[in-house]
Amino acid sequence: MLELSDTEIAQLLNISPPSVRQYLTRARRAAKALMNKGGEQNDQ
């Protein structure tokens, strides 16, 4: 999936390109939050 454009992903999933970008943004934020949470747990 890393090599596909937003438009190509949208076509595969039958959704709009802006929706793809929104899903990717939310996924990045969730991943970052999990990584930050994991780092805090290791520091305790």
1 in any annotated domain: no
Q: How many domains does the chain have?
A: 1
Range of the domain at 21: 6-43
Residue 44: pLDDT over 90: no
Q: Which two tokens stand for residue 2?
A: 């890393």
| pLDDT, tens digit, 9 for 90 and up, residues 15-41 | 999 999 999 999 999 999 999 987 665
Buried b (16+ CB within 10 A) or exposed e, 12-38: eeeeeeeebeeeeeeeeeeeeeeeeee
Q: Compare 2 and 36 and report the one with higher pLDDT.
A: 36
29 in any annotated domain: yes
13 in any annotated domain: yes
Phi then psi dihedrals of residue 15, to 5 deg: -135, 175
26 in any annotated domain: yes
21 in any annotated domain: yes
